[in-house]
Structure 1
Amino acid sequence: MSSRPFRFAIVAALPTAERTWSELARHVEELGYSTLHVPDTLGTLATFPALAAAAAATTTLRVGSYVIAVPNHRPTAVAHEALTVDVLSGGRLELGIGTGRPDAEHEAAALGLPFGTPGERIALLHETILEVRERFVKPPGPLRPVQQPHPPIMIAASGPRMLRLAAEEADIVALGLPAETTEDALAQKTAELREYAGDRFDDIELGTNIAVIGRDMPPFMRRFIGADPDQLLEIGAISALDGTPAEMADVLRRRRDRTGVSYFQVGETFAETFAPVVELLAGT
Structure 2
Amino acid sequence: MTDPTTRPLRFGVVTPVLTDVNTWRDEVRRIADSGYSTVLMPDVPSWQPAPGPTLALAASIANVRVGTWVYASPFRQPWNLAWESHSLSVLTEGRFDMGIGTGRPGLIDELRTLGIPEAAATGRVAQVRDSVKTLRELDGTDLHTPVVMAVRGPKARALAAEVADVVTFAGSPDGSRADVAVLAEEFRGKDVELALHVSVVGDTVAAFMAPPDIDTAALRAADSLSYLPSDPAAAAEEILRRRAENGFSYVVIGLNSSRTLAPVVAQLAGS
Q: 2:227 is aligned with what amino acid?
A: A
Q: What is the aligned counterpart of 2:35 among 32, 36, 41? A: 32
Distance 1:243 1:48, change over 3 A: closer
CA distance in 1, matches of 2:128, 2:209: 30
Q: Distance in 2 between matches of 1:98 and 1:217?
A: 22
CA contact (8 A) 1:72 1:113 kept: yes
**Residue type at the aligned position of 1:77:** N
| Paired position in structure 2 for 1:84 | 87
Residue 275 (1) aligns with residue 255 (2): no
- Change beyond 3 A, Cα 1:216–1:204: closer
Deviation, structure 1 residue 19: 4.8
Aligned pairs (5 A) from 1:1-284 = 2-16=5-19, 19-42=22-45, 43-59=47-63, 61-137=64-140, 148-194=142-188, 199=189, 201=190, 203-217=191-205, 224=211, 226-284=213-271
Does the 8 Å CA contact 1:99/1:122 hold for their aligned counterparts? yes
Q: Is the 8 A contact 1:186 1:259 kept in 2?
A: no
CA distance in 2: counterparts of 1:76 and 1:39, whole angstroms: 20
Q: CA-atom RMSD, angstroms?
A: 2.1
Shift of 1:283: 0.5
Superposed displacement of residue 212, structure 1: 1.4
Contact 1:7/1:262 (8 A) holds in 2: yes
Letter in 2 for 1:213: V
- Richer in helix (by share): 1
Give 1:191 deviation, angstroms.
Answer: 1.4
SS at match of 1:273: coil
Superposition deviation, residue 124 in structure 1: 1.1
Residues 149-189 of structure 1: CA distance to partner in whole angstroms, max 9, x if unpaired?
42110111012111111011100002113211343232211
Question: Once the two structures are aligned, what percentage of the paired residues are identical?
Answer: 34
Counterparts of 1:6 and 1:273 in 2: how far apart (Å)? 17
Change (3 A) 1:222 1:124: closer
Per the TM alignment, residue 267 of structure 1 is displaced from its structure 2 partner at its CA by 0.6
- Under a length normalisation based on structure 2, what TM-score does the superposition of the two structures give? 0.91
Provide the residue aligned with 1:145 in structure 2: none
Q: Say if 1:22 and 1:54, in contact at 8 Å, map to a contact too.
A: yes
Does structure 2 retain, via aligned residues, the 8 Å contact 1:85–1:93?
yes
Quote the Cα distance in structure 2 between the aligned partners of 1:217 and 1:137: 40
Q: Is the 8 A contact 2:42 2:208 kept in 1?
A: no
For 1:106 and 1:135, the matched residues in 2 are separated by 32
* CA distance in 2 between partners of 1:24 and 1:232 (Å): 28
Instruction: String of CA shifts for 1:207-240, please: whole Å, max 9, x gaps.
Output: 011111112447x779716532111111111111
TM-score normalized by the length of structure 1? 0.87
Higher alpha-carbon deviation: 238-247 or 61-70: 238-247
CA contact (8 A) 2:82 2:135 kept: yes
Secondary structure of 1:272's aligned partner: coil
Secondary structure (helix, strand or coil) at the match of 1:265 reads strand
Note the residue ranges of structure 2 that are not aligned, 5 or more in a row: none
Q: Aligned partners of 1:271 and 1:18: how far apart in 2?
A: 18
Unaligned stretches of 5+ residues in structure 1: 139-147
Whichever residue aligns with residue 239 of structure 2, its letter is L
Tell me the number of residue pairs that the alignment of Structure 1 and Structure 2 aligns. 267
SS in 1 for 2:241: helix
